[in-house]
Chains A and B, each alone.
Chain A
């Protein structure tokens, strides 16, 4: 009798839990899983009026078109290289600033530095694009103003590709570093103070204790964050490459990445099949990378594995 009632409660409990999960499950099903089946568009000559299933099957034609175009090499190179630079420069920059921040003792100063570093993180890329316009505007921009004052020729920033790798890296750091500094800073201040005291008594200099205590202690955090971002190396930050560059065509050689290309072929050129094919490649490569990195993370520390 008692057993039975417990069984009944059990059932009610499971039912309640299932009902609670239902809205999320439906949303995930619609917006994440159904589009996965849409990947077959990559193998079709998609026509709006014929629909996905009705459109003609063309095999690998869309892929061939993409890989035979000049764009393929360019956008893959740009995506991978920018992300590689973002990861390496980002880690060095964020870790050094986190270490510097950890040496500050005045509470007010820490708060001021943290708040200002964090400000860019709260801005949308559109607002950041306005800010960069202040610097790079041809007629009135600050940089050209400085060049004029130095009696140099003004530069047409939005049509000169050679400057953009630097501009993009700096802007990316500017916008995201504050967030990462914060994570590393949290890792540093959780290191046991006793270690530093002991090192100090043993006659260790400040720099030596950073090298022998701080760096080894935050290494796991660094490794995990780096590996996680390697898993996303085939995905670019659309806002950065689209907004900041004003989507300027003459800069595409150094600013066109997978995500901007997919967007443009879909919405501007209207070549749905090719766009889907590139998206397909991105999804598959991205999946493989995610699986690999997750495996590597699992080998390093079981706790950090995502599942």
Chain B
């Protein structure tokens, strides 16, 4: 093993640690504010370490969790339905594009690829969905437009092409249908790629607020992210506070309640993500080698 001098160890570790901390600290600050007593915030402003800890804002949130539970339900429904459908559609399409013997393979590849080069822009897309498909205030508006992601389809195709053709041929000779080849042979051999694309897709649906903002007016259909976005503005915040039964003279812990909402909305994803990271890291490194 080569000997390393002090500087060679210290310098990279120093910068990496600095960056790593800067990535974690903002979230810790949000958590810290959410458990700080409101009078302290009014007096001293936000601080990284809470001076006096108070769980009042969480108590308020969980006393009447209707708004948050509802937003969670919407997000979970959209994410689950969206991801399942999306994976189904994309896996099949990617398989077809990966099959060299398919006669329209070239044409369909271009058909998909062209959507990455050119699009109609926001306005025609918006008018199509709201006016012609009448999906305003409909959860399908949050699911359908994002089902096929060209980049992910190509990523899956790259993974599928890695499976030896002889396996497919052998199965075909034994009388397997294309569906059987895909779901019995290709998919079990491409779990890494499928897991990566699956996580990407979950992430996109879970974090979506843009389509909500465009297509949803009914506050009962607000997703988690969009609810959170609205809590930042005052009106929606008061609704949340009122739902928590604070029409009495009790003082609303404004800032800490807001940050507590953020923690409750974003926390679970942050807790879950390290478990998926392994697949993710593998997937994008393989996918990026050949785009």
Contact = CB atoms under 8 A, between A and B. Distances in A.
A36 B259 contact: no
A174 interface: yes
Contacts, number: 272
B12 A38 contact: no
B118 A287 contact: yes
Counting chain A residues whose Cβ lies within 8 A of the other chain, the interface size class is 35 or more
Interface string B106-125: 00111111011111111111
A306 B95 contact: no
B64 interface: no
B59 interface: no
A142 B288 contact: no
A235 to B, nearest CB: 10
A126 B209 CA distance: 8
Interface string A28-59: 10111111111101100000100110000000
B187 to A, nearest CB: 13
Contacts of A254: none
A124 B288 contact: no
Interface string A157-184: 0000000000000000010011100110
A182 B281 contact: yes
A156 interface: no
Contacts of B102: 14, 17
Given A117-B23, A200-B2, A38 B45 contact: no
Interface in B131-168: 131, 133, 144-145, 147-148, 153-154
A112 B48 CA distance: 22
A114 interface: yes
Give the secondary structure class of A's interface. Answer: helix
B203 A140 contact: no
Contact of A112 (B20, B30, B178): B20
B46 A24 contact: no
A229 interface: no
Residue picked from B48, B144, B288, most chain A C-beta under 10 Å: B288
User: Contact size class for B?
Assistant: 35 or more
Interface in B92-106: 92-93, 95-97, 99, 101-104
B177 A104 contact: no
Contact of A280 (B41, B121, B274): B121
A20 B262 contact: no
Contact of B122 (A21, A100, A140, A266): A266
Contacts of B262: 127, 130
Interface string A182-226: 110010000000000000100000100000000000000100100
A38 B132 CA distance: 12
Given A16-B179, A25-B108, A117-B20, A307 B113 contact: yes
B68 interface: no
B23 A283 contact: no
A140 B46 contact: yes
B273 A16 contact: no
Nearest to B91: A20
Contacts of A142: 29, 45-48
Given A118-B277, A145-B46, A262-B123, A28 B291 contact: no
Contact of A24 (B17, B45, B120, B153): B153
7 contacts: A24-B93, A37-B124, A130-B259, A206-B4, A221-B288, A286-B118, A290-B116
Interface of B: 2, 4, 8, 11-13, 15-17, 19-24, 26-27, 29-30, 33, 41-42, 44-48, 88-90, 92-93, 95-97, 99, 101-104, 108-113, 115-128, 131, 133, 144-145, 147-148, 153-154, 172, 177-179, 182, 203, 206-210, 214, 225-226, 228-229, 232, 255, 258-259, 262, 265-266, 269-270, 273-274, 277, 280-281, 284-285, 288-291
Given A51-B131, A286-B118, 20 more contacts: A14-B103, A17-B96, A21-B108, A23-B93, A31-B145, A36-B118, A97-B16, A101-B16, A103-B8, A116-B23, A117-B19, A118-B280, A122-B273, A134-B46, A145-B45, A183-B288, A186-B284, A267-B214, A283-B120, A303-B290
